[in-house]
Amino acid sequence: MNVVLVDAGGTNIGSVRYALQRLGVDAELTADAATIRAADKVVLPGVGAAAPGMARLRELGLVELLRSLSQPVLGVCLGMQLLCAHSEEGDTECLGLIPLPVRRFAEAPGLRVPHMGWNRLSAKQAHPLLAGLGDDEQAYFVHSYAVPASDWTLVTSDYGGAFSAVIARDNYYGMQFHPERSAAVGAKLLRNFLEL
């Protein structure tokens, strides 16, 4: 299986690559359009802010390419947010592949921003990406911005209200948490993505 990691400058690229290696897949890190287009699966990792993330994709000439892909594409953390329409972070136009906004968590007593740590996953729809996901599974999150729950939400988590933990539209998928840091549940979901 030919899996590529889009070299969009995210600091989690190494850990995502190692997580895939543990599943028997050696994903190539690339910003080459032809290599990305030829892949069986594409992973868009990302840690950081929306504006620099989109600037990097524009600089590499990858925006239209990512919008045109027909194979399964997985956005991880910031990568998931970049699949959406617009982020409040830096008032950033994103890829627009999943027509949802990305909003900053509201500050509230007892809710620190960023949201960091393990949090429960709650499946909202049946989907092959979620095969084997139990009722009380948890994943590891680090983020200040989140995607509201919608018809494209497969899994929610709760931090002062429900937000999207996993989203999907057509061949585009997103995981807000870090599957590469989410132990067995993260490995399971990455394996499910590879088997789509």
**CATH number of the domain that residue 73 is part of:** 3.40.50.880
pLDDT higher than 80, residue 101: yes
Q: Strand locations in 80-196, DSSP E? A: 84-87, 92-93, 98-104, 115-120, 122-123, 138-143, 145-146, 153-158, 162-169, 172-175
pLDDT higher than 70, residue 152: yes
180 is catalytic: yes
pLDDT at residue 48, rounded to an integer? 85
Alpha-carbon distances, residue 92 vs 83, 102, 140, 173 (angstroms):
12, 9, 25, 20
What pLDDT digit, counting tens, does each position of 153-166 carry?
999 999 999 999 99
The domain total for the chain is 1
Confidence class for position 10, pLDDT limits 50, 70, 90: low
Q: Which of 59, 127, 180, 195 is catalytic?
A: 180
**pLDDT above 90 as % of the chain:** 92
Rounded to two decimals, the pTM is: 0.97
Distance (Å, whole) CA 148 – CA 68: 25
Averaged pLDDT, 102-106 = 96
Distance (Å, whole) CA 185 – CA 134: 9
178 is catalytic: yes
Q: Which amino acid is at 80?
A: M
Position with higher pLDDT, 86 vs 108: 86
Q: Identify whether the C-beta of residue 78 lies closer than 8 Å to the C-beta of residue 53.
A: yes
Backbone dihedral angles phi then psi of residue 111, each to the nearest 5 degrees? -115, 105
Q: Identify whether the C-beta of residue 106 lies closer than 8 Å to the C-beta of residue 159.
A: no
Distance (Å, whole) CA 34 – CA 21: 23
Q: Which of 77, 89, 94, 137 is catalytic?
A: 77
Look over the chain and give the mean of its residue pLDDT values, rounded to a whole number: 95
* Closest by Cα among 29, 9, 8 to 17: 29
Write out the H or E segment, with its range, that includes residue 65. Answer: helix 63-68
Range of the domain at 39: 3-195
Confidence class for position 8, pLDDT limits 50, 70, 90: confident
